[in-house]
Amino acid sequence: MANESSNGKHQSSSKPPPTPSPLRNSKFFQTSERISHCRLQSNMRILVTGGAGFIGSHLVDRLMGNDKNEVIVADNYFTGSKDNLRKWIGHPRFELIRHDVTEPLLVEVDQIYHLACPASPIFYKYNPVKTIKTNVIGTLNMLGLAKRVGARILLTSTSEVYGDPLVHPQDESYWGNVNPIGVRSCYDEGKRVAETLMFDYHRQHGIEIRIARIFNTYGPRMNIDDGRVVSNFIAQALRYYPLLPSAFNGTAIVDASASALHPCSGEPLTVQAPGTQTRSFCYVSDMVDGLIRLMEGEHTGPINIGNPGEFTMQELAETVKELIDHEVTIVSVENTPDDPRQRKPDITKAKELLGWEPKIKLRDGLPLMEEDFRQRLGIPKK
């Protein structure tokens, strides 16, 4: 069957894969009567790459909540931390391996959630060659593992595959508008190649794949100095203490180095120009729910998982200011190249195929994150 894509071209939907010869041991390739039985009864050994990171550690919490699951995390701790998993260290159903996915990994597992990849622009741009190796070689290695042991593998792709989208909101048939040679390309194009590899292994080797296109996700445990917008604004609002109130006046347009010039004035919220660019923010518990539904369901994807509530960065700053500290100032600072101007997921597919939609609104999620940041920064509520 062919679908009409929003690029005006025909896009073939996935055909049934060829005979799954390498999958002889897989719990997913037993007779249909036994499949439901196995899923209900069998223990699952699940690998989470990047499980020490923000989304990964929340996913691990949810998976560990099922006592039929054994969870193995492989992480090189580039942007993740053992601290995110400390409650599971020493648990008999949990194992943590320091491992870089650009190297092969030999474990026996039934499912692979493949998250390993720096996600914040400041981190993925820090060593772009390593980012692209992680996306390409790392995904190849995990697909090789899935093929050898007959595991089902889920890739956490990204809304960045749509680049600076010319179609709004974005549905999965849109092929995107991505700069192949820009400073974001190591991530955007890296994820696009990772998706290609997933489908080639599926078509060529019969691997059971799932692809989630994740839209901006936020919540507790994000790195405080992660660089992404929600964590930046919350940390800035909490660190703000107006010793020099005359330096700023409400929404001021000042130089990016303002907080360095006035260190005693704390940190204003830094809206990168123009501030009219939009994002749609999904709370992490909704995201984890969507990822598990995708893994457990029957559809390969790609499926958008995100919250369609769309905000400009200026609106986000105003909301954080209103919720955390009315006195905080908002400044406009220079942006980075190729910043997408608009982004909002069309989640029709997730609703219809997974029965999933987000539950937590931005205004309800931000205070949960604020509480976590207050604890970690040691800043009590006024």
Ligand X SMILES: NC(=O)c1ccc[n+]([C@@H]2O[C@H](COP(=O)([O-])OP(=O)(O)OC[C@H]3O[C@@H](n4cnc5c(N)ncnc54)[C@H](O)[C@@H]3O)[C@@H](O)[C@H]2O)c1
- Shortest gap between Cβ of 166 and ligand X (angstroms)? 20
Contact between 134 and ligand X by CB under 6 A: the answer reads yes
Contact between 76 and ligand X by CB under 6 A: the answer reads yes
Alpha carbons within 13 angstroms on the beta-carbon side of residue 251 total: 10
- Shortest gap between Cβ of 1 and ligand X (angstroms)? 29
Q: Which of 80, 301, 302, 365 binds ligand X (CB under 6 A)?
A: 80
272 binds, among ligand X, ligand UGA, none (CB under 5 to 8 A by kind): ligand UGA
Q: For residues 36 and 296, what is the distance between their CA atoms, to the nearest angstrom? A: 11
- Shortest gap between Cβ of 238 and ligand UGA (angstroms)? 14
Contact between 216 and ligand X by CB under 6 A: the answer reads yes
Q: Which of 229, 291, 331, 362 binds ligand UGA (CB under 6 A)?
A: 229
**Closer to ligand UGA by Cβ: residue 26 or 120:** 120
Q: Which of 56, 121, 150, 176 binds ligand X (CB under 6 A)?
A: 56
Q: Which part of the chain contacts ligand UGA (CB under 6 A), choosing from 92-100, 173-181, 214-222, 251-259? A: 214-222
Q: Which of 139, 141, 185, 270 binds ligand UGA (CB under 6 A)?
A: 270
Contact between 156 and ligand X by CB under 6 A: the answer reads yes
Q: Which of 95, 310, 338, 339 binds ligand UGA (CB under 6 A)?
A: 339
Q: What is the three-state SS of the chain? A: CEEECCCCCEEECCCCCCCCHHHCCCHHHCCHHHHHHHHHHCCEEEEEECCCCHHHHHHHHHHHCCCCEEEEEEECCCCCCHHHHCCCCCCCCEEEEECCCCCCCCCCCCEEEECCCCCCHHHHCCCHHHHHHHHHHHHHHHHHHHHHHCCEEEEEEEHHHHECCCCCCECCCCCCECCCCCCCHHHHHHHHHHHHHHHHHHHHHCCCEEEEEECCEECCCCCCCCCCHHHHHHHHHHHCCCCCHHHCCCECCCCCCHHHHCHHHCCCEEEECCCCCEEECEEHHHHHHHHHHHHHCCCCCCEEECCCCEEEHHHHHHHHHHHHCCCCCEEEECCCCCCCCCCCECCHHHHHHHCCCCCCCHHHHHHHHHHHHHHHHCCCCC
Contact between 233 and ligand X by CB under 6 A: the answer reads no
- Return the structure tokens found at 179: 């700069």
- Shortest gap between Cβ of 381 and ligand UGA (angstroms)? 23
Whether 187 is a known active-site residue: answer yes
Q: Which part of the chain contacts ligand X (CB under 6 A), choosing from 165-173, 178-186, 214-222, 239-247? A: 214-222
Contact between 216 and ligand UGA by CB under 6 A: the answer reads yes
Q: Which part of the chain contacts ligand X (CB under 6 A), choosing from 74-82, 254-262, 263-271, 326-334? A: 74-82
118 binds, among ligand X, ligand UGA, none (CB under 5 to 8 A by kind): ligand X
- Return the structure tokens found at 370: 């604020």
Interface positions with ligand X (CB under 6 A): 49-50, 52-56, 75-80, 100-102, 115-119, 134, 138, 156, 158, 214, 216-217
Interface positions with ligand UGA (CB under 6 A): 119-121, 158-160, 214-216, 228-229, 232, 270-272, 277, 279, 313, 335, 339
